[in-house]
Structure 1
Amino acid sequence: MKPIILLVLVFSSVYTVSLNTHWNEGDTKRLSKVLENVLQTKKDNIASLHFAASGLKLLNVAPSAENAKAACEVAKKADMTKLDVVYHASALSGDLPDCALSSISEAQKTIEGVLTASSPNGEKIAQALRSADRLGIKVNKPAFDKLLTAAMKDDSPNNLAWVFNAAALLDKPMAAKYFDKIKNLVSQADEVDKRFLQFDGGLSTTSNAIHGIMSLAEQQGKAPAITKDQLLLFTNYLLSRKHVSTEKSAFHLLSALGVLVNNHQLVPVTVSLQGPVMIERSRPVIFNACNVFGLPVSLSGVRVDIVPVGTTTPVIGNLRINQIQGAPQSYFIGPDKLPDTPGFYNVVFRLESEDKRLIGLTGSSIVVKLSDEVQVDDLKIGAIEKDEVITGSSLASVAPFSKHGKIIAADHTKRLYMSFSVKSRATGNLIRPHQVFVLFKHVDGTEVFYTADVQAGGKYLVDVNSLHFIHKLSSQGLLLFWGELESVVVADLSPCLYNFQNLAKAYKDFEGLSGKYTAFLIVGDPIIRTPLNWPFVSELLSFIIYHCVIVICCSAADFTLTLPSIAPEVVPKSQRVNYDALPEIKHMFRQPEKRPPAVVSDAFTFICLSPLLLLLGLWFRIGLNFGNMPGSIWTLFFHGGLAALFALYFVFWLQLNMFDTLKYLALIGGFTYLAGNRVLKAIADKRKMSLTKNLKSLTSVGPRAVVTWDKAERIRRNEEIWANPDSIVHRLPEHYCKRYWDNLLLIYPPEADKGLWGGEGVVKGWKESRPYTKKKVLPRQWIPRLYFPALKKQVLYSEILDKHMEITVTERTLRLIDQNFGLDYYILRTPEIDLASKLGNRLKREMLLTLAMGNYYPGDEERQNYIKQKHVHRITLFHVRIRIAYAEFVIPLEEADWVGLDLNEAARKQQEIEEQRLAEPLKYKLERELVERLRTGTDLITNEEEFAPKIEESKFGERLLGKYLNPVAKRLRR
């Protein structure tokens, strides 16, 4: 367990707040190849070219001339009307040699267009200001300041990072207010494992934020509102991502690291170990103290404390280490200054410098492992009697790293005894290995492991009856043992004694397997540089082991063990594992039932096929409805899908299983469903253009009887007379009866002209004051009342006009439309006086004019093109059907133009026609032509000189001052 704890401490100590890595030459070579490859392969992506070229410039690596020229050509040909393109092109122009842009004016318009854009974010503003700075374009910085202030309403880390980058490009007084907002951005950072600080958005957002914060602090000339530990955590995160492989991430990372080096406020210092964590006592330990780019910093001294891991007391304190000549960033600790005891040590650094910018001078630490070589000494081995006292004469010594060449014999009366000690090769002191055990390996690959405990006096004791062992086959046991033995804890530093006692009781460990065994000694420890794995005897021994002790030294042995056989263990039948081939299972299937006679089968088949035969017969008798089938490719797809479904069912019956059929059915069924949906849509569109749409009743309300006072009263007063068939009233003249039952007088208000009331109007009548009184005794009380029709708005479709219209109608109008099978038939068949509506008469006039002129579907070019290209024949037949269906209503155009006009409109139309037919007087004609010539300046008479107006010069100055003051007169005349 202790090695695991030490390893955890190693890795947890390395990744602390202190910076233990920096950008080295290997990182520069690796990333420069990646960026150079981007310049060569992504020539059509100006953003990638920008990131690659800028990254190479930050690495101080010049791109190849060919790639630089190609990238420059892309920048010169870029579309300067897009802000992001201007941003990338300006960066390429500044980072590549001899790459000046020509279209600066167009780029300036694009940059100034940001001021008029609707709510630009911080990224757009920063790109505009950065592009203007690179191209040397003067911009209205106060306007950008106002725009940047408005953009700060979005306080997300990504937006604030761009805002600070943009503020660093403004004037110093303008950017002061943004400097105070740095703490708002830093407070949004997330801490990870107390090692890193980062923002949501990853490397790009974090790098951009650090670049903006440090750039703004450099402009203001003071340290930002960020603690030194926070900046070290940010820097540690950036350095942990130095193995990036994309050009954009590399550019942002290098930009952030560059601003951490080139500023006058805060410069992080890194301390790293040059070489592996495992150090040797014979070589000096070299450390590097530099900035994040591996460049030396100004240090006046470096002191270290060497503290064992897990403690706080240094074994070497306040040790000043020297600088390596020729390497100003490298310092070393000499071999004589290293601790005497091997182990893990924490090297804590204290850097001294007069540069106030440097941070991370204290607290930096690096964990190192001081390793040592070990040797096995004082190896003794022997086979002694069971009760014999161990003496020097009964044991044989084996030289280190050699083999015992004699045969060791043992039986049930003897035991095997071995002992050894482990010492440091450098100091000769006894050490305590964490892994010391013996491996017995049979010739067939079977392995048995035994570990040891430390006895009083510093010896290891192995009790075969109780000690831990691992028994595996072949070489897998070694790997498993190394994993499990990490939990073994040994107490003191002392000679090791492996004492194998009562081996007769441990024969189960060997599973009664007798024969040749090879014994290995394995010694391992985290601080041992080279672990030991040696055999210690080379001869094969033949003996029966019942009780022995083995003491292991740095040697190896081969044994031939003869062990008592083990009684076979009885394993329950349910737990047995049989790897032999099982006998074949012969299954007797049930005999099939006797099939019915062929007549029954044929009759059943005929009955099943009878619906199909009936369908075919009906099709032959009635015919197929191909006329209403839409002429579309989806119709073929739909019927093809149906055929495919039936074919799939047939194949399922022959060959497929249910799961395969469901998969195919999902594909074919889905396609058939979509095709059927298109077919139904086409049928609906076809019905929409025909009279079949109007076959559906628009209303189900029946006519409402209207009983007025006059009719009801006459019936009630003369009920006995009319009920008597012999009454005289039945012999009255017919004309009298007609007048007696005259229809009621209707009132048509102006609203009736704006809808279709179906002949209904406002009825003036009477209403009984007490309609629910059972007793009917005259005289009754009657009150006048106006009966209004129930009006509602309905969307109606005209097939001739191809229009949907929302019209105010009554229930009677809807019934009349249903009775005439459509709005068009109702309007055309109803006389103008019965329509009793200006709207109805106007619709009738437009329908008759459309039928007369033949322009059924005007103004729909797309529909006309589709009809002409796809269904010319069908639409032509449809036009013919329209003419045939409305043939009884087709009248001459001159007559249709007068339909539906009231008396005033007809009189006005007739007056206009008569006025157009009157001859124009010649006087008016000549007058009109003269005015036209005068307006255009083409009249010959007015252009002649004699008709031109005379202009006389004024004589005022000459008459007033005389001829001697003629110049003054000329001036006055002016």
Structure 2
Amino acid sequence: MSKISLLAVFIVSIITLECSQASVGGYFSENDAKKFTDILNNGLKQQEDVTNYYHAARGLSLLKKPIDVALSKNACSFLQKSFKEGTPEATFKVLNAWILLKCGGKLHNEAQVKNIKAVLEDKASSTESVRYALEVLATIGESVPNAGKIAKNIQDKLREDDSLPSLGHALHAGVLLGNEGKFVADRIQEIVVQADEIDGKLLQWEGGLTTTSLIITGLMRNSAAGQHLNQKQVDKLANYLLSRKTVPSPKGVWALLEAAEALNSYALFPVCITIDGEPFVTAEKPDLKIRVSNLFGGAVRSKTSVTPVVAQSATRISDDVVVLSKQSLNPGTTQTEFILPLKLTPGHYRIQLTAGSNTQSVESRVLGPIAVQSLEIGLMDADGSSAPKLNKLQHPQKLTSILQGDSSQHLVVKFTLSRSVHQAFIRLSSQNKEIIFVGEEEAGKLYKVEINLGNELSQSGDFDIELILGDSLATNSIRWNLGVISVSLPSASLSAKTARGPKPEINHLFRVADKRPAEVVSLLFTALTLSPILLLLILWARIGVNMGNFSVLAVPFHLGFGGILALFTLFWLKLNMFTTCAWLIPIGGFTLFFGHKLLSSIASGKKPEKADK
């Protein structure tokens, strides 16, 4: 019998999980709406692209923001002056901007209507052009001529181009064609399966926000979409839209808001469950405010679909202990507000919320005060030969006398807190100097700081002792002046501790040079080195110098060669390698060029002589 009961509980749990749907963890806040409004108002000020007037006016209407009268008047004047025959898309957006801006009067003429109908009859017209041509006729209240033929042309065009933008425009066109456009329902499944899922949380179509918005608005207009698009997919589409809140252009804001409005109006609309306001509570104000709303932060269409709102569980993140289970939330002051009292110990908590069939996990903090339950401070010998002498203090008392310490002692501070904290410090300060010591938790919220005065301090003097406590979960922080300690350090210790400052200058001592030989020996070896030159001069005097074959080309060659020898001499005496190489390149090039010329002239002079032989 017990096994059957456990099985039944397991089955019920599985059914509950399957029936619940994840909600959307965000919405377009007031700050987002303000940013969008500024972008859209800037779109009304520019006069570069007339379609931006539609994007701006339509976006402001979706946000339910009024349009500035002066901006509206200037935009109407510009539209009337600059509106000419253009693409069906431009015509649709200009005509709708004229209506949204409440310009008054009639902007289009019969010739423009005739051209729009010609687009519908032209088999070469793209799916986008056909869609916007149908939108123009719907805007001005004209009937669609020959809807069956137009539907056939769209189907033929989709066989040529079945890209996502083409399919998206076909969705809109199919709705505008009424019964003749029902063929588009057969393509919805194909469109849905092409959506890309990101991290299991977002859903989009290739092409970014513009393409995704086009397809979302097309699907939401088509009643058959409900057979292929489920609640989880709608929520993931909503999460994608929320991730694109940073769009900077009027067109981007318009595409974002159009898609969000379409999802809100869909039968399976997304439900946003978020924390409203600060994500923390205190013992004095334990009520955590939860917002259950649509994408624009307003009340959902059917309150019964999001009630009751229940905190299924609250888990302390530090140790995964469930501290709350199945607690109903109380209604707040507005339709979107619900109150969850969190009378828990300070900590970080993960709360699983359900609103009807929608679920969402949020994280919150419970804050509380820090209290010092006991504190002892005193001195002990560094070798531990005697028991420490500790004084007990109660916050915010101070020591009645100055502690007298030296280099052979340790300063000991022990304190017990009401709960563990992230930051516990002991600060010793004297004039403009301070040293911070971290308090480590030993056990049972007991902290201890032990400071070796001889090793940690660099000079004698009086030091203020402060206890500093802080924590991210604390509603208060503590900075408690415990008293003063007078430390006396020996002079040797003082001189040793001055090593904390600048290091003494190091003078490098080079090796003493070896003793040089006598001057006579140096002159002898110099003469031996120059002896080949003397021998050359003697031989020239005896044999003679043949100047008969001397060529003019030999002069620059010998000058270059002599320059190289002179450069090597200077390198030996004073130049460095880099300067020598810099001079050697031009001199060597000069010598090589004239050396080649000289050898060529010598070789050409010997060729006829060989021929005579």
Q: Given the alignment, which residue of 221, 226, 232 partners 1:223?
A: 226
Q: How far 1:369 moved relative to its partner?
A: 0.8
Q: Contact conserved, 2:437 with 2:449, CA < 8 A, in 1?
A: no
Partner of 1:268: 270
Q: Given the alignment, which residue of 387, 403, 408 partners 2:385?
A: 387
Partner of 2:240: 237
Q: Contact conserved, 1:436 with 1:451, CA < 8 A, in 2?
A: yes
Q: Given the alignment, which residue of 435, 444, 467 partners 1:447?
A: 435
**Alpha-carbon distance change, 276 to 155 in structure 1, aligned in 2, over 3 angstroms:** farther
Q: Given the alignment, which residue of 63, 88, 112 partners 1:83?
A: 88
Q: How far 1:195 moved relative to its partner?
A: 2.5
**Alpha-carbon distance change, 17 to 120 in structure 1, aligned in 2, over 3 angstroms:** farther
Q: Contact conserved, 2:402 with 2:486, CA < 8 A, in 1?
A: yes
Q: Given the alignment, which residue of 352, 360, 363 partners 1:364?
A: 360
Q: Given the alignment, which residue of 541, 546, 557 partners 2:486?
A: 541
- CA–CA separation in structure 1 for the residues paired with 2:246 and 2:390: 61
Q: Given the alignment, which residue of 59, 66, 70 partners 1:55?
A: 59
Partner of 1:664: none
**Alpha-carbon distance change, 446 to 125 in structure 1, aligned in 2, over 3 angstroms:** same
Return the structure number with greater strand share.
Answer: 2
Q: Contact conserved, 2:126 with 2:157, CA < 8 A, in 1?
A: yes
Partner of 1:521: 467
- CA–CA separation in structure 1 for the residues paired with 2:348 and 2:289: 17
Q: How far 1:366 moved relative to its partner?
A: 1.4
Q: Contact conserved, 2:373 with 2:417, CA < 8 A, in 1?
A: yes
Partner of 2:346: 342
Partner of 1:630: none
Q: How far 1:17 moved relative to its partner?
A: 5.5
- CA–CA separation in structure 2 for the residues paired with 1:579 and 1:53: 76
Q: Given the alignment, which residue of 414, 425, 449 partners 1:437?
A: 425
Q: Given the alignment, which residue of 256, 260, 275 partners 2:259?
A: 256
**Alpha-carbon distance change, 384 to 61 in structure 1, aligned in 2, over 3 angstroms:** closer
SS of 1:101's equivalent in the other structure is: coil
SS of 2:396's equivalent in the other structure is: coil
TM-score normalised by the chain length of structure 2:
0.70
Q: Contact conserved, 2:459 with 2:497, CA < 8 A, in 1?
A: no
Q: Contact conserved, 1:514 with 1:563, CA < 8 A, in 2?
A: no
Q: Given the alignment, which residue of 105, 121, 136 partners 2:110?
A: 105
Q: How far 1:120 moved relative to its partner?
A: 3.7
SS of 2:467's equivalent in the other structure is: strand
Gaps of 5+ in 1: 1-15, 353-360, 424-430, 459-492, 546-560, 570-575, 581-602, 608-657, 659-974
Q: Contact conserved, 2:410 with 2:450, CA < 8 A, in 1?
A: no
SS of 1:303's equivalent in the other structure is: strand
**Alpha-carbon distance change, 401 to 189 in structure 1, aligned in 2, over 3 angstroms:** farther
Partner of 1:330: 337
**Which structure would you say has the larger RCO, counting Cα contacts within 8 Å and 6 or more residues apart?**
2
Alignment map for 1:766-781 (pairs within 5 Å): none
Q: Contact conserved, 1:514 with 1:562, CA < 8 A, in 2?
A: no
- CA–CA separation in structure 2 for the residues paired with 1:369 and 1:157: 45
Question: Once the two structures are superposed, what CA deviation does each residue of 1:838-858 show, in whole Å capped at 9, x if it has no partner?
Answer: xxxxxxxxxxxxxxxxxxxxx
Question: Once the two structures are superposed, what CA deviation does each residue of 1:568-599 show, in whole Å capped at 9, x if it has no partner?
Answer: 98xxxxxx99799xxxxxxxxxxxxxxxxxxx
SS of 2:226's equivalent in the other structure is: coil
Partner of 1:373: 369
Partner of 2:405: 410
Partner of 1:315: 323
**Aligned AA (1:318):** K
SS of 1:260's equivalent in the other structure is: helix
Q: Does 1:566 pair with 2:496? A: yes
- CA–CA separation in structure 1 for the residues paired with 2:475 and 2:157: 61
- CA–CA separation in structure 2 for the residues paired with 1:28 and 1:158: 28
Question: Once the two structures are superposed, what CA deviation does each residue of 1:927-946 show, in whole Å capped at 9, x if it has no partner?
Answer: xxxxxxxxxxxxxxxxxxxx
Q: Given the alignment, which residue of 48, 68, 74 partners 1:70?
A: 74
- CA–CA separation in structure 2 for the residues paired with 1:374 and 1:108: 76
Partner of 2:184: 178
**Aligned AA (1:203):** L
Q: Does 1:20 pair with 2:25? A: yes
SS of 1:437's equivalent in the other structure is: strand
Q: How far 1:249 moved relative to its partner?
A: 1.0
Partner of 2:138: 133
Q: How far 1:209 moved relative to its partner?
A: 1.5
Q: How far 1:79 moved relative to its partner?
A: 0.8
SS of 1:237's equivalent in the other structure is: helix
Question: Once the two structures are superposed, what CA deviation does each residue of 1:446-467 show, in whole Å capped at 9, x if it has no partner?
Answer: 635344251xxx3xxxxxxxxx
Q: Does 1:33 pair with 2:38? A: yes
**Aligned AA (2:471):** D
SS of 1:369's equivalent in the other structure is: strand
Partner of 2:196: 190
**Aligned AA (1:374):** I
Q: Contact conserved, 1:304 with 1:317, CA < 8 A, in 2?
A: yes
Gaps of 5+ in 2: 1-20, 508-551, 557-581, 583-613
Partner of 1:763: none
- CA–CA separation in structure 1 for the residues paired with 2:380 and 2:262: 78
Q: Contact conserved, 1:290 with 1:296, CA < 8 A, in 2?
A: yes
Question: Once the two structures are superposed, what CA deviation does each residue of 1:54-93 show, in whole Å capped at 9, x if it has no partner?
Answer: 1122222231333223323333341124323312222113
Partner of 1:938: none
Q: Contact conserved, 1:22 with 1:270, CA < 8 A, in 2?
A: yes
Alignment map for 1:663-674 (pairs within 5 Å): none
Question: Once the two structures are superposed, what CA deviation does each residue of 1:626-678 show, in whole Å capped at 9, x if it has no partner?
Answer: xxxxxxxxxxxxxxxxxxxxxxxxxxxxxxxx9xxxxxxxxxxxxxxxxxxxx
- CA–CA separation in structure 2 for the residues paired with 1:345 and 1:119: 61
- CA–CA separation in structure 1 for the residues paired with 2:124 and 2:394: 87
Q: How far 1:248 moved relative to its partner?
A: 0.5
Partner of 1:572: none
Q: Contact conserved, 2:314 with 2:322, CA < 8 A, in 1?
A: yes
Alignment map for 1:945-960 (pairs within 5 Å): none
Partner of 1:296: 299
Q: Contact conserved, 2:405 with 2:485, CA < 8 A, in 1?
A: no
- CA–CA separation in structure 1 for the residues paired with 2:408 and 2:485: 19
Q: Given the alignment, which residue of 132, 149, 153 partners 1:147?
A: 153
Q: Contact conserved, 1:81 with 1:106, CA < 8 A, in 2?
A: no
Q: Contact conserved, 1:422 with 1:495, CA < 8 A, in 2?
A: yes
Q: How far 1:211 moved relative to its partner?
A: 0.8
SS of 1:346's equivalent in the other structure is: strand
**Alpha-carbon distance change, 496 to 450 in structure 1, aligned in 2, over 3 angstroms:** closer
**Alpha-carbon distance change, 378 to 205 in structure 1, aligned in 2, over 3 angstroms:** same
Q: How far 1:50 moved relative to its partner?
A: 1.0
Q: Given the alignment, which residue of 157, 161, 170 partners 2:168?
A: 161
TM-score normalised by the chain length of structure 1:
0.45
**Alpha-carbon distance change, 383 to 18 in structure 1, aligned in 2, over 3 angstroms:** same
- CA–CA separation in structure 2 for the residues paired with 1:67 and 1:382: 75
Question: Once the two structures are superposed, what CA deviation does each residue of 1:706-745 show, in whole Å capped at 9, x if it has no partner?
Answer: xxxxxxxxxxxxxxxxxxxxxxxxxxxxxxxxxxxxxxxx
Question: Once the two structures are superposed, what CA deviation does each residue of 1:367-408 show, in whole Å capped at 9, x if it has no partner?
Answer: 111111102231221224542224xxx322233134435211
- The share of aligned pairs that are identical, in percent, is 23
Q: How far 1:44 moved relative to its partner?
A: 4.5
- CA–CA separation in structure 2 for the residues paired with 1:62 and 1:323: 31
- CA–CA separation in structure 2 for the residues paired with 1:578 and 1:55: 72
Q: Contact conserved, 1:306 with 1:347, CA < 8 A, in 2?
A: yes
Q: How far 1:279 moved relative to its partner?
A: 1.9
Alignment map for 1:504-903 (pairs within 5 Å): 504=454, 507=455, 509-510=456-457, 512-537=458-483, 539=484, 541-544=486-489, 563=493, 565-566=495-496
- CA–CA separation in structure 2 for the residues paired with 1:229 and 1:578: 73
SS of 2:222's equivalent in the other structure is: helix
